[in-house]
Structure formats: structure tokens, C-alpha cells
């Protein structure tokens, strides 16, 4: 069984400040991990993914995440927030197999203050 925990429902940062969105996972097998972003009334856009290669993963829009097996974490960071980063962010986990399904966390809303 797999699950993802995203603590909190809302993070607010000032423009230019560090963004840190936390994600912890539980998996009985080596996981693939993902971060997706969703803008209002839109589908999901993949930000980045960990697929057992480098533990520090760089994604689009300046985001990156580090896989830490010892902490079962995959936190998302961005050094400097931009107003356009305001959105809903989902962490997700899957197994490695061809029929693996994505299991999503409950999501977290990022607000960026001017």
C-alpha cells in the first residue's frame, strides 16, 4: 500500500521568499514520487518526478525536490517565490510496475503575497 501525507492545507509566502512544501510518503516498495501543480479549473501539470535516479530532482519553473529515504520525504522547494506560483500543489506516489497507479496527497494551496 502507498500513501502520501501533505501536512497543512495552506502555505503563504511573500514574493521573493523561499517556498517549502512538505511531502512524506509511505510505500512498501521503492517508490516513484511526483509533484504536480494545478491552477484553478485546470488539470494537473507535472512539476518534477523522482524515478530512482538522482535524489535531487530539478523541475520546471525553478522548483526542485529532494528524495530522502531515511526521512521518507520528498519536499518541494523554490528559492524565490513568484506571484505566478500561486496554485494548488499535489504530491503523489506510485510503484514501479507498468500498472502502477498514482496515489495523491490532499494537496496544499500556495499563496504568494506581493
CB of 31 to other proteins, least distance (A): 10
Instruction: State the cell numbers at 96.
Output: 514501479
Q: What is the CA radius of gyration of the chain?
A: 14
Site string for other proteins, 10-49 (x = CB under 8 A): ----------------------x-x-x----xxxxxx--x
Q: How far is the CB of 93 from other proteins (least distance, A)?
A: 9
CA 76 vs. chain centroid, Å, equals 5
SS3 percent helix, strand, coil of the chain, rounded to 5, is: 10, 55, 40
The answer to whether 98 contacts other proteins (rule: CB under 8 A) is: yes
Residues that bind other proteins (CB under 8 A): 9, 32, 34, 36, 41-46, 49, 51, 90, 92, 94-107, 109
Amino acid at each position: 500500500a502507498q500513501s502520501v501525507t501533505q501536512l497543512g492545507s495552506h502555505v503563504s509566502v511573500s514574493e521573493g521568499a523561499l517556498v517549502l512544501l512538505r511531502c512524506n510518503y509511505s510505500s512498501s516498495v521503492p517508490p516513484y514520487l511526483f509533484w504536480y501543480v494545478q491552477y484553478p479549473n485546470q488539470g494537473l501539470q507535472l512539476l518534477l518526478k523522482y524515478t530512482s535516479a538522482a535524489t535531487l530532482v530539478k523541475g520546471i519553473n525553478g522548483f526542485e525536490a529532494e528524495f530522502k529515504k531515511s526521512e521518507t520525504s520528498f519536499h518541494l522547494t523554490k528559492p524565490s517565490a513568484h506571484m505566478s506560483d500561486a496554485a494548488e500543489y499535489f504530491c503523489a506516489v506510485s510503484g514501479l510496475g507498468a500498472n502502477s497507479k498514482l496515489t495523491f496527497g490532499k494537496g496544499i494551496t500556495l499563496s504568494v503575497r506581493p
